[in-house]
Amino acid sequence: MATAVDILGLSDDSAQHQQQPASAENEDDDEEPFQLAGLFLAAKDGDADRVKQELLILPPTVELNGRNRSGETVVHVAVPTGSLPILEALHQRGVDMHQLNKACENGLHLACRLGDLNVARFFVERAAVCLDGQTRDGDSSVHLAAKKGHASVVEYLGSRGANLNAQDRCAETPLHAAAAVGSVDCVRALVQAGARIYVEDRVGWTPLEHAIKRHQTTIALMLINAGAPIDHVDHQKRECPLHLACREGLLPVVQALCAYGCRVDVYNAMGVTPLHIASRAGHLELVRCLLLAGASPQLASRDGVLPDVMALAQGHTLTASLLGKMRPERRAICVEQLVPTQRPLPRIKLKVFGDSASGKTSLISSLRSNAITGFFRKKFKSQDEANSLDEESQTFSMRSRTMPVEMNFEAAHEAYTKGIYVQNVGITGAGEFSVWEFSGYQPYYLFYDHFIGDTSCVHLILLNLMDSFELMRQKVMFWVHFVMGRIPAREPLGFCGKPKSMARIVLVGTHSDRAAGLRNPEGLLENRDADRILEEVLALTRYRLEVCDRVFVVNTSEAMSPEMKALRSQLGDWRTEILRHLPFSNGFLDVVISRISEWVCSTQFPVYTWQQFVETVRNKVNPLCSEDHLKDLIQELQYTGEVIYLESDAGHDMIVLSPQWLCSSVLGFLLSQDNISQARVTGSFTADDIQFMIAGTEANQLLRILIALDLCTQVEVEDEVQYEFPCLNFLDSVRGLWEKEPRHDASVYAGMQMRATKSQLVHIFPRLQCSLRRSLKVDKEDEQHSPVLSEADLFQWHHGSKLSLAGVECMLRMEECDQVIRLRARGPRQQLPLLFGIYQDMVNLIEQTIEDTCPSMEYEVSVLSPKELRNHSKVAIAVPQGVIFRAIEDQRNSAPSSSEVMVNFENGLVLESLESLLCFGNRQLLTQLTLGPDLHLSCLRTPSFQRLCSMFDPVDPLGKDWCLLAVRLGMTHSVPNIDSGNEWLRSRTAKILDEWGKEPGGTIGALIGIFKELGRADAADLLMDSAPLYQYSPNKADDAAGGTGTVGASADSAVGAGAGAVELDQATCGGSGSTLSR
């Protein structure tokens, strides 16, 4: 049986003799006291009580510094356990804490290798162990910590004054070691502590060379930024870091070295330059970078070989071709094009909105006129005015019906703008603009979100002063909500939820010659009704949009009127301000802009994929442009309105070289009144139909763009590929789609509806239908194994969709009269897993579509009464989700958690349970939902955060602002830091909530409770009305289903739970969970 002596490796002879500890070289010959065996064993087990007991029973004469056969003392054995009580007990008994093992390591060395900061602190502060002691290999404590990546230990040792530049036997410092093993945190700690980054090891490498050789790109960039010697040459191969980076193919490192001005035409011991090395390896991007940095392609190697010859010899034809083109004069031109300048971009975009007959086209013509053209324009305009009066009176009734409460497919006049008319306009006194005139014809509204969203432009909203005040107000508020909802709020949020950059809007009143107005002291026309509308807009958009504080009342036929000059001046001022925050132009951008028109004329389909665009620019403009140059270029081209960048789900992003072609010639015709009146009412077309409809363009290519714009979806109809356009689907609803039938007598029902302000949802619904069709995928391989699949059906009509599968039915409708999107679902109880899964995925799809289309739009969610749905009441009865949220809160505050939550509808005649409203009456399924009060704060949408910031950022007379909120949230320690920043750049409320959200328990319900304690019922009501009502976790539902078999929506595919072959794509639906949210 093994004894403690055998286990610990104690010498057998030590049981009979007691000797002093010997040196590391002779410790195998030493004998140790047998009495230490128990102490060693207790220390190895980390048992502090046993160690203390052993120390008490040992006689005072026993030498406690005895070693085992490995040369370790009891201190070495105790360190790996990390037990501070053991070490403290040994230290108090007089054990030598400085003893070394065979590798000349003391306890501090072991603690640093293990990364035990507390033990290391003990040896330094209590035992006063030398910080800079070195092991047999020359490693100091800092070396050992750096090699293992223990950054906290490295920081501590540096703070205690350890030598950060100690060198081991290979002359490597801790920084060499950290760079070699790839410990970013240790490198950062050493650099910040002042470690020298230019120390050479035995072969002449600095830490930078070690990082490059081992492909530690992040560390290499960190060292370069910290001032590492970029032209350092090693002792053996006479290579600098650029040689190594080119050999290893590290493009970011090469770019950084060149950016910091390293020498590029330097030879190594083999007589080659970095350009030779990159060319021979075929690193095309590296070669491009070196040439841009000044490397000479005419510089031969020591053997007389040019870089292009080396590349060609290795079969790298593209690299050789690039090098062959780079003659000195050509390279000088290419380099000069890419050099940044101080010139601003040539133009920005001006987007013009307004209903038909509001005068958009006439205004643009007047803005571009000068004194001479304006005179003739006014003269001809006055001659036409008499003839147009009758026409205006006839179209006035048409204009009164164009307020977008319901979709109007009849154009206000024959000369309406088709789609979006794009043109470059030089506005006298304001500069160059790319003017985008958005048609007021309503069928076009559904794709406008693709061309709204950036804040580096100016938005004009026109109001016709001939309209009545209420009609004028409705139209203006519609367009303000339309634009504001489609512009995402860039974070971090500023004071009162102000986005990082706000869109700029100018209100322009037209037809001032036919409306009452007075001149102000400045001599400019004003309109009282327009000013009232402006006040309402300013109140609505405060901290959301930057709205000009005056309405420009103009007569669009008078190009040089004082009002028109004032408008030009405002546009010029904002143009200058916007350009100040945009990147500067350069010769590269200028040349590409000049060549785009040539590329457009050379093809009937002016659309490039990203790869085609890259190849074209490099072949025809500048071969030296890198990927970063091209990304900057495409961004600048979008700022100036020269191109449109379309992201594609297929991974082939597209660049439209002619916005006018896409927005007017294609989309303008596709949804024009003439085409709508002639198109097939089903909205389904073959590729040949599209080819006939839009001649001159390859249909398959055009359909790729229309699919990317979410205007159509590919479907199979009787083995024929067709393309469904919901925006052109004018089928009437079929009778009997949702009738009270005997087969549904035992069915369970549920439903919800969404309502947005100012009639916004009607223009989103075709996009929702398109997403629904695309999300439904059929796996043909499983069709023969799934009898349920034959029952799956998605029928879509004008403003309606119905999905049927295995007795489960979900119907989605756009109710124009109520301006709501209404979802209803029903099915047999035995199909509850399938029913609940489909219902949740459709809810999720609605939310995700709205989020993608209108990320800043606020909308209300209500839950329909299942009882009324079962009775098929003609009037839908719904309860706002805020009422349900309050019922949950009230039940938790007043009753046991097991009691049922009941919701009373507004009419007082209907009382529904929570599981009936949310889970088709299944209580077990309700337990699988995370209800709104328990959701994390991060589930809130950005508009809700913005409104909270607007409530708490301003100083409250009673002190109920952000400061008291921080105290109630337990964030008192953060108040000084939060208060020290610029409140206009960063919302203090947002900072508090961000920090509090990182703490355990940062839920919506907890925040509501804090608001109530503060007496801020307005903030509590906001959260209950706008926070998600619940979140569904399918995995939890699966666990529950395993027990009963009644609830079991699939984790990844709710529909697949029933059919096994049909699923709602979660990538489209926005994740595996489902949330009712605004």
What is the rounded CA–CA span in Å between residue 198 and residue 409?
A: 73
Residue 376 reports pLDDT greater than 80? no
Reported as a single tens digit per residue, the pLDDT across 589-608 is 999 999 999 999 999 899 99
Max Cα-Cα span within the chain: 128
| pLDDT computed for residue 87 by the predictor | 87
What is the rounded CA–CA span in Å between residue 618 and residue 628?
A: 13
What is the rounded CA–CA span in Å between residue 1038 and residue 1059?
A: 16
| pLDDT computed for residue 742 by the predictor | 84
Amino acid, res. 296? S
| pLDDT computed for residue 435 by the predictor | 97
Mean pLDDT on 397-404 = 46
More confident residue, 780 or 1003: 1003
Reported as a single tens digit per residue, the pLDDT across 240-264 is 999 999 999 999 999 999 999 999 9
pTM of the model: 0.84
319 phi/psi in degrees, rounded to 5: -65, -45
Tokens at residue 419, please? 């789609």
Give every CB contact of residue 410 below 8 A, 6+ residues apart in sequence: 398, 673
Residue 398 is inside which H or E element, if any?
Answer: helix 371-400
pLDDT grade for 210, boundaries at 50, 70 and 90: very high
Which ranges of 779-896 does DSSP label H, i.e. alpha helix?
Answer: 832-853, 866-871, 881-894
Percent of the chain topping pLDDT 90: 61
User: What is the DSSP track for 967-1001?
Assistant: HHTT-GGGHHHHHHS-TTTS-HHHHHHHHHHTSTT
| pLDDT computed for residue 877 by the predictor | 87
Q: In the Cβ-directed half-sphere of 397, how many Cα atoms lie within 13 Å?
A: 2
Reported as a single tens digit per residue, the pLDDT across 62-87 is 778 778 888 888 888 888 988 888 88
Tokens at residue 51, please? 């160690």
pLDDT grade for 650, boundaries at 50, 70 and 90: low
Give every CB contact of residue 834 below 8 A, 6+ residues apart in sequence: 805, 806, 808, 827, 1049, 1054, 1055, 1057, 1058, 1059
| pLDDT computed for residue 126 by the predictor | 87
Q: Which of 171-185, 612-626, 965-979, 1044-1058 has the lowest mean pLDDT?
A: 1044-1058
Mean pLDDT on 1001-1028 = 94
| pLDDT computed for residue 39 by the predictor | 82
Domain 230-326: top CATH class: mainly alpha
Q: What is the DSSP letter of 633?
A: H
Residue 204 reports pLDDT greater than 70? yes
Exposed (0-12), middle (13-18) or buried (19+): which is 698, by Cβ within 10 Å?
Answer: middle
| pLDDT computed for residue 816 by the predictor | 82
Q: Which of 100-114, 566-580, 700-714, 889-903 has the lowest mean pLDDT?
A: 889-903
pLDDT grade for 1034, boundaries at 50, 70 and 90: low
| pLDDT computed for residue 746 by the predictor | 87
Q: What is the DSSP letter of 938?
A: G
Which ranges of 744-831 does DSSP label H, i.e. alpha helix?
Answer: 765-775
| pLDDT computed for residue 1036 by the predictor | 55
Edge-to-edge strands, sheet with 713-717: 684-685, 720-724, 713-717
Exposed (0-12), middle (13-18) or buried (19+): which is 1016, by Cβ within 10 Å?
Answer: buried
Task: Please tell me whether residue 758 adopts helix, strand or coil conformation.
Answer: helix
Omega cis (within 30) before 492: yes
> Which CATH superfamily hosts domain 936-1027?
Death Domain, Fas (1.10.533.10)
Q: Which of 469-483, 604-618, 636-650, 898-912 has the lowest mean pLDDT?
A: 898-912
More confident residue, 154 or 1075: 154
Give every CB contact of residue 374 below 8 A, 6+ residues apart in sequence: 366, 558, 559, 560
CA angle 629, 631, 634 (to 5 degrees): 105
What is the rounded CA–CA span in Å between residue 737 and residue 60?
A: 97
What is the rounded CA–CA span in Å between residue 975 and residue 966?
A: 7
Residue 1041 reports pLDDT greater than 60? no
Percent of the chain topping pLDDT 70: 86
Residue 370 reports pLDDT greater than 80? no
What is the rounded CA–CA span in Å between residue 246 and residue 248?
A: 5
Q: Which of 416-425, 777-786, 808-817, 996-1005 has the lowest mean pLDDT?
A: 777-786
Tokens at residue 1059, please? 């059919």
| pLDDT computed for residue 733 by the predictor | 87
Domain boundary assignment for the chain:
230-326, 348-580, 587-728, 742-922+1054-1072, 936-1027
| pLDDT computed for residue 91 by the predictor | 83
| pLDDT computed for residue 898 by the predictor | 53
Mean pLDDT on 439-464 = 96
Tokens at residue 302, please? 């020591």
Reported as a single tens digit per residue, the pLDDT across 606-626 is 999 999 999 999 999 999 999
Tokens at residue 247, please? 């050999």
Reported as a single tens digit per residue, the pLDDT across 732-788 is 988 888 888 888 888 999 999 999 987 899 999 999 999 999 888 644 334 444 444
Q: What is the DSSP letter of 489?
A: P
Reported as a single tens digit per residue, the pLDDT across 905-964 is 766 677 889 999 999 998 888 888 999 999 999 999 999 999 999 999 998 888 888 899
Residue 696 reports pLDDT greater than 70? yes
Three-state secondary structure readout of 583-631? CCCCHHHHHHHHHHHHHHHCCCCCEEEHHHHHHHHHHHCCCCCCHHHHH
Average predicted confidence (pLDDT) for the chain: 85
Task: Please tell me whether residue 418 adopts helix, strand or coil conformation.
Answer: coil
Reported as a single tens digit per residue, the pLDDT across 840-886 is 999 999 999 999 999 999 999 999 999 999 988 887 889 999 999 99
Q: Which residue has the tokens 């039940």?
A: 891
Q: Which of 67-71, 723-727, 739-743, 1060-1064 has the lowest mean pLDDT?
A: 1060-1064
Q: In the Cβ-directed half-sphere of 511, how many Cα atoms lie within 13 Å?
A: 20
CATH code matching the domain that covers 348-580, chosen among 3.40.50.300, 3.40.449.10, 1.10.10.60, 3.40.50.880: 3.40.50.300
Tokens at residue 1054, please? 């709710």
Domain 587-728 bears CATH identifier 1.10.3470: no
Reported as a single tens digit per residue, the pLDDT across 54-64 is 788 787 777 78
Contact 951/1055 with Cβ under 8 angstroms?
A: no
Beta-sheet pairing, 720-724 with 684-685? antiparallel
More confident residue, 1051 or 588: 588
Give every CB contact of residue 737 below 8 A, 6+ residues apart in sequence: 795, 800, 802, 811
